[in-house]
Amino acid sequence: MWIMKYKFKIPIGDWSGDGHGKHEDYLVESSLPVEEVRELYFQACEKIGFSLDGSHKQTEFTPCAEYQESNFNEDTIQKLLEFGVEISDEDQDGWIEDYIETEQFCDLVLKFIKTQDKDLILERVPEEDFPMLQFYGFDKKQRHIGYFGYGIFYV
């Protein structure tokens, strides 16, 4: 049995806020530190000839890199399959004809990275698995932690 030593997040969407500003964060547990996982991602991009992100080695195969582009072309899926990324027939059809969900895209990124290290363990974990510092109610000593920075966000 191994212990997950490393945790990081993968935002899907406009995490920098310089465009539409919408994104979903996914928490990942890993058997390697994030710096090594990044290197594996770059290796995969170099080998396949394109990236899954919109900033590194973007080509006509880079999926969902432009605003309101939420599906894949058949050639991109074919290249990913040939590269060793497992994509179900149902997902292939859905991603070409309709769109890909953010959690599916995150899982695709994880599978893409794992092509470079078969022993690497990367698991998307629900946010609920990580305790939050703030909490509802009161502890045994009648203490409470509410919210930080509430006034930062305004309309």
Q: Is residue 1 part of a domain?
A: no
Q: What pLDDT, in 10s, does the model give residues 24-77?
A: 888 999 999 999 999 999 999 999 999 888 776 678 888 888 777 888 899 999
Query: pLDDT value at position 136?
Result: 83
Q: Is residue 140 part of a domain?
A: yes
Q: What mean pLDDT value characterizes the chain?
A: 85
Q: Is residue 20 part of a domain?
A: yes
Per the CB < 8 A criterion, the answer to whether 23 and 14 are in contact is yes
Is the confidence at residue 150, as pLDDT, over 80? no
The model's pTM:
0.79
Is the confidence at residue 16, as pLDDT, over 80? no
Query: pLDDT value at position 154?
Result: 52
Q: Is residue 63 part of a domain?
A: yes
Domain count, the chain: 1
Which structural domain, as residue segments, surrounds residue 71?
6-152
